Amino acid sequence: MDLKSGYPFWAIKNGLMHAFPQLQEDVRCDVAVIGGGISGALITDELAAHGHDVVVVEERDVGWGSSAASTALLQYEIDTPMIDLAKRYGEDDAALAYRACADAIHQLQSLAGDIRDVDFARMHSVYYASRRHHVPDVRDEMALRKKHGFEVSWLEPEALMADYGIRAPGAILSQLAARIDPYRMAYRLLARLEKRGTGVFDRTRIERLETHARGVTLHTTQGAQIRASHVVFAAGYASQHWLDQHVADNRSSYAFITDPLDADTLGALGETMVWESARPYLYLRSTGDGRLLVGGEDDAVDIPSRRDARVQKKAQRLVQKVARAIPGLELKPAFAWAGTFAETEDGLPFFGAHAQHGPRAQFAMAYGGNGITYSMLGAGLIRALIERRKHPLAALFSFDRLDR
Ligand SMILES: Cc1cc2nc3c(=O)[nH]c(=O)nc-3n(C[C@H](O)[C@H](O)[C@H](O)COP(=O)(O)OP(=O)(O)OC[C@H]3O[C@@H](n4cnc5c(N)ncnc54)[C@H](O)[C@@H]3O)c2cc1C
């Protein structure tokens, strides 16, 4: 296969899976969700399952934002090590965030079992020390996770090489991780919701909105209005356009996928995802049809044409990095692409209301390398906020931490 650039693999593999209508008329609902990516789909599912009347609007085709580009490693391991989060927010909050991500993997497993055929599989995860001098920090990280009940063990260099073919001075082996096809999951969830009566509209852009004491009014480019009691911004990195405050940086990330490999070549990598302590980190994971998905090489390029021009070079750099970390594994990209995502300074997401828009508007900014696990835990959190219930993660994931 030729190396392709620009088109994310999931969209090529799955195509447009279901035709959703464009919103042509005014509608009323309890909650309007802006964004038909994995966050919008999971939040809508949670709200609809608990009796809320929801309308979802997506300006492109469903799933065609960051969710189509995502490599979708589902990890409780946040890009910011637990030990660094503990220094910043205290050990209790660091453990709370990690535990919430672990719970989210179990929730995604249960939902994927229900939705079916979304390439979900439980995996293990190897986090290796990229350099010898990283080993003490990675060992401390493991000790803290162990203290908080995570199932982790240490891999010495010999075991890393013998079991995974990885050349590194040591690694944490975590038992809990998973993978999914995020594009398929978003489509299938939204198609099920539509079948059950939720309004799902794509090619429908929200251009402006007004918030009032009792609700919100959203205006589409086509001139239709949505009147709702609440709005949820699940618009991915574009959610930032609705805020005057700077809350995250946009990043580009690069990925490629191989053709299906035989079981001998894949070996333990078939059920173990791999990432490292260097930043930006290299990572890889298998798919259900035996391919390897490799990603990394993140940069601050925020202009799509410049980003796309880099795809092939970045893919070759990733090939070389894999060959250095796993000698003997010579990968050939079948498809390569780049995607935009946003990253917060501390690696944690923002879920909740912002002073600029008042309590009727909730933001679901599932930013960072753990975006999908964040979206899953955020679904429950957003529902609690809309229902005015307390939630253990509300304070830690709120915009208030920007003022601390
Ligand atoms: C290359 C790459 C690799 C990644 N790897 C991982 C990983 O391994 N694990 C992980 O958990 N996460 C990963 N992520 C992050 C994860 O993919 C994202 O966090 C997640 O997909 C975000 O989903 P979302 O629904 O919030 O945003 P999106 O998928 O971007 O969806 C938001 C949608 O809102 C729509 N929208 C925006 N504005 C409007 C408007 N005004 N009106 C109507 N619609 C609007 C957009 O068209 C878009 O489709 C990765 C991301 C990238 C790019």
Please tell me whether residues 257 and 321 are part of one structural domain: yes
Number of domains observed in the structure of the chain: 2
Where residue 69 falls (left for φ over 0; alpha for ψ -120 to 50; beta otherwise) is: alpha
Could you say which of 343, 360, 385 is where a domain stops? 343
Answer whether 380 contacts ligand 1 (Cβ < 6 A): no
Domain at 334, CATH number? 3.30.9.10
Which are the contacts of 389, defined by CB distance < 8 A and separation ≥ 6?
none
- Whether 261 and 334 map to the same domain: the answer is yes
Check whether residue 330 and residue 269 sit in a common domain. yes
Q: Give the ranges where 116-244 is alpha helix by DSSP (H).
A: 135-147, 157-164, 182-195
Question: Are residues 333 and 214 located together in one domain of the fold?
Answer: no
Over its C-alpha atoms, the chain yields an Rg (Å, rounded) of 21
Please list, in sequence order, all residues whose beta carbon lies within 8 angstroms of the beta carbon of residue 387, skipping any fewer than 6 positions away.
50
Cβ-proximal residues to 168 (8 Å cutoff; 6+ apart), any chain: 128, 129, 130, 157, 160, 276, 325
Do 272 and 214 lie in a common domain? Answer: no
The contacts of residue 137 (CB under 8 Å, 6+ apart) are: 81, 83, 129, 277
- Containing H/E element for 375? helix 371-386
> Are 339 and 356 within one domain?
no
What is the pLDDT at residue 1?
30
pLDDT at res. 102: 98
Q: What is the pLDDT along the chain (404 residues), one digit of tens a residue?
A: 333 346 788 998 998 899 999 999 999 999 999 999 999 999 999 999 999 999 999 999 999 999 999 999 999 999 999 999 999 999 999 999 999 999 999 999 999 999 999 999 999 999 999 999 999 999 999 999 999 999 999 999 999 999 999 999 999 999 999 999 999 999 999 999 999 999 999 999 999 999 999 999 999 999 999 999 999 999 999 999 999 999 999 999 999 999 999 999 999 999 999 999 999 999 999 999 999 999 999 999 878 888 889 999 999 999 999 999 999 899 999 999 999 889 999 999 999 999 999 999 999 999 988 999 999 999 999 999 999 999 999 999 999 999 87
> Among 39, 60, 70, 241, which residue has the most ligand 1 atoms within 8 Å of its CB, making it the best to mutate?
70
Expressed in angstroms and rounded, the spacing between residue 237 Cα and the centre of ligand 1 is 7
Q: What pTM was computed for the model? A: 0.97
Residue 208 located in a structural domain: yes
| pLDDT score recorded for residue 6 | 64
Same domain, 358 and 338: no
Task: Examine residue 123 and state whether it is found in any structural domain, yes or no.
Answer: no
Residue 35: φ, ψ to 5°: 120, 120
Question: To test the ligand 1 pocket, which listed residue (341, 343, 367, 376) has its Cβ within 8 A of the most ligand atoms?
Answer: 341
Residues 299 and 364 in one domain: no
Report pLDDT for 111: 98
Residue where one domain finishes, among candidates 343, 371, 389: 343
Return the residue whose CA atom lies nearest to atom 17 of ligand 1: 70
On whether residue 169 sits in a domain, the answer given is no
pLDDT of amino acid 307 = 87
Which of 327, 343, 359 finishes a domain? 343
Domain span at residue 331? Answer: 249-343
Q: Which atom of ligand 1 sits closest to the CA of residue 8?
A: 1
Task: Determine the distance separating the centroid of ligand 1 and the alpha carbon of 19, expressed in angstroms.
Answer: 20
What's the Cα-to-Cα distance from 213 to each of 34, 210, 233, 243, rounded to whole Å? 20, 10, 18, 19
Domain co-membership, 326 together with 358: no
Structure confidence at residue 131 (pLDDT): 98
Asked whether residue 300 falls in the same domain as residue 264, the answer is yes
